[in-house]
Structure 1
């Protein structure tokens, strides 16, 4: 079973990690083209987009997996509901785009709001078709759609932000200037980052034409009511999660101590957001695992030995993320050189280890959250997430005016740690799982110590430093192999027996 979970994690990783890694090419593009304040505006808008995504899908993706085998026509019902509400919500946003732009402090950005309204509606409408692909085991198609979307998004960003700009300025291909001048507006600038994303999202729709042809738009409240009652607590937990994820960027705009730290709030958002991107390696691994684990946990929950299976899955999960934590931190120097193209962004690199560890605890929380999903006690997920959101808001309000975005990074770590601990303590009362806490604590502590040692050891030349840093990574990996040699041996023997 674990082999199946990890193999599906790899496949879904191709559909989540690879697209995001490709999308990660936008970081050097944007940090090379945009100044820190412009990049801050991009990050600020996407912070609001994350909150809206939760409202648009209102827990229906998880509800789909819970009810798809229990209720006939559930795909049609959920799809109809999301299609209707998405068109309604985006219609309102578009109608009041100028007022909304002024309300968030960017009065000249009404077109950005319109593009985001279309972008978010498309995301929500396609959420259930993507869930259907996962349910049907069509991981390859899932990956192809995701990859093609992000490749197109990156290509459009390059085209608008670099190619069109350079042709417009007469740097090369001057024969195309007349054509470029018919549609390219140099004043739009960072707006092309939003426009590219919107176009790429819309062009995902043709992949699902056959699925859409089979949809019967129908809605019956009596049949939909239990689905909604299951899902609606997930709205609060989802919103709370988004607050944990993006509230810092919103609050930085209003609370950042500009005079004290000699930096504007929008520049701070740009620097912090760019450095936050360097924690993406852990984030992507967590996301890929979550895509595979959610249907896996539902399928295994009622079977004998499932708690032990979930405990082993958690153990290997923590091991993998601990190794990744060390790998990213000991190589942070050349990674930052590769992706943060302007030196101004690198002043925030000190927050990366904190954010990486915070995302590890987020992944642990996702593992622990299985108990409230399989026992239909989703309200507890909402309670924990709302508590985390309250904690996030209060501590950001206290720390940002004192230490700027360093406070936001610390809050991220504290929040996800607290949520993981809370979920474990409550979950053991309703669905006891024998997690190996000793191993998890051991690996996370050792990984943290190794990263601290690596940061203290800095030598010249650079190749020597690179060698020493990665030698520490190799030592950690060898420690894991030695300590878990029996586990790996059992896993290998079991897989060999299955193949025989």
Structure 2
């Protein structure tokens, strides 16, 4: 079974890497054509969009996976049951998106004033972003359906087209000199809107002539499952954007909050590889672990999956953190001063995947109200540490607040799992791997300071990274040769 998860992760992984690589071409581009404050607007908007998407999709993606599995358990006309589920979840999210866009258009002046001076000067930015959200929500459930059907290549193909079109338009607008006009950064949102519109039109072809139509009885049952996920999802997504908002509102005006926001956003983008791994794992693992497994099989697989996730994550952590000066060249020269926060951001990203693994049991057991407890604890930690650290440390404080938030969610998830659904996670082995990786990192930092020679320091880093990888392979008795041979045979 874990082999199936690994294959699904690989399919999503390779394709997601390609898609995200195209998307992240915009980071070096934008950080070279925009000033720190202007790029701060991009960072601000793209931190808020996921919050709106979480609110409007209402936890329906996870609900779609779970209720599809229920339909298979119940038997009968499974195809008709899934079709009704698809129409209902798609219908309610589509309706919510329309109401949202109308509200944004009606109150865009007030929203612009709340968001800051850059938006007051251009309230049309708010309208364009609202339109992007509309089409992204309209496409959300059809994309979830592709994942549930195992149509990974179709899913990724549409995602890739969306990103490729967005990137192509951004470069075209730049070449045409549009970013230098008064509308300026607004052309970033126009490019995104066009890409979202085209993607929505294409994904309609996968709907099998199903129209959004709400079955009220089914919707009631779905809402019982999804509403706790919605509340928990909002808290979790708020953790992803609150650090940026706290920078905007807590950093003293003399320190230029929007410039610090731009710096912070650029450096977090450098952690792309870690987030790529997290995203590809989530895309494969969520429908996998919410399928129909016996409890004993689920427990065994979930425990093993967490260990291997941490092993891969620590390799990625070291691969980026030990060579962060090289990765700093991804962004423009004016943004590289913030590279020292990268290891903290990477650590937070590792913890995101840990508590994702620890969440599957309560989604499977339909105790989704526990998601509120987990993500709520993270939100409280983010707010508390952010209010404490950001006024004094600026975006550096935001990075530590984010790490504290993810740590709180892991701690609460661990306690809930131990209390209600004991799972034999290999915490001793996991702790050993994390401690060894951190020891390698701090040893590297010490050697770099002592030698002061970049070439010698990188040579040392290559050696200790290879030794850490060999240590993991030996400790887990992984037959690398057999894995390579199996991959070549499948190829």
Confirm or deny a common fold (TM above 0.5): yes
Which whole-Å CA distance do the structure 2 matches of 1:125 and 1:107 have between them?
A: 28
Match of 2:288 in 1: 296
Query: Using the alignment, how far apart are the partners of 1:389 and 1:450 within structure 2?
Result: 31
Q: Deviations over 1:11-57 (max 9, x none)?
A: 11234332122111111101000000100111112222121111110
Structure 2 contact 266–335 (Cα < 8 Å) conserved: yes
2:94 to 83, 105, 127: 83
Partner of 1:450: 440
Which residue number in structure 2 is paired with residue 324 of structure 1? 316
Assess, with a 3 A threshold, how the Cα gap between structure 1 residues 143 and 217 changes in structure 2: closer, same or farther: closer
Match of 2:467 among 460, 475, 479: 475
CA distance in 1, matches of 2:120, 2:292: 51
CA-CA distance at 1:83 after TM superposition: 1.1
Correspondence for 1:428: 418
1:146 has 2:146 as partner? no
How much does 1:430 deviate? 2.5
- Contact 2:303/2:423, CA 8 A, preserved across alignment: yes
Aligned to 2:58: 58
In 1, the alpha carbon distance for the partners of 2:338 and 2:331 equals 11
Q: Is the 8 A contact 2:377 2:412 kept in 1?
A: no
Alignment of 1:58-137 (within 5 A): 58-71=58-71, 72=81, 73-105=84-116, 106-137=119-150
The residue that corresponds to 1:232 in the other structure is: 227
Separation (CA, whole Å) in 2 of partners of 1:164 and 1:460 = 45
Partner of 1:333 in structure 2? 325
1:248 to 230, 238, 243: 243
Report how far residue 265 of structure 1 moved.
0.7
Measured after TM superposition, the shift of residue 466 of structure 1 is 2.8
CA distance in 2, matches of 1:301, 1:425: 23
Partner of 2:263: 271
Q: How many aligned residue pairs are there?
A: 474
- Cα distance in 2, alignment partners of residues 209 and 252 from structure 1: 39
Alignment gaps of 5+ in structure 1? 169-183
Alpha-carbon distance in 1 for matches of 2:176, 2:348: 39
Contact 1:257 1:400 in 2 (8 A): no
Deviations 1:139-163 (A, max 9, x none): 11111111111111111111112x1
Please say if residues 244 and 415 of structure 1, whose CA atoms lie closer than 8 Å, have aligned partners that are also in contact.
Answer: yes
Q: After superposition, what is the alpha-carbon deviation per residue over 1:91-122, rounded to whole angstroms, capped at 9, x for unaligned?
A: 21122223311221121221111111111111
TM-score, normalised with respect to structure 2: 0.92
Partner Cα distance (2:180, 2:207) in 1: 36
148, 164, 188: which one pairs with 2:176? Answer: 164
> 2:340 and 2:474 mapped to 1: Cα distance?
32
Aligned to 2:4, the other structure's residue is in SS state: helix
Change (3 A) 1:319 1:300: farther
With normalisation by structure 1, the TM-score equals: 0.90
Of residues 169, 192, 195, the one that matches 1:197 is 192
The match for 2:428 is 438
**Are residues 1:418 and 2:408 paired?**
yes
> Gaps spanning 5+ residues in structure 2: where?
72-80
- Calculate the aligned-residue CA RMSD, in Å: 2.2
- Contact conserved, 1:15 with 1:142, CA < 8 A, in 2? no
8 A Cα contact 1:255 1:401, kept in partner: yes
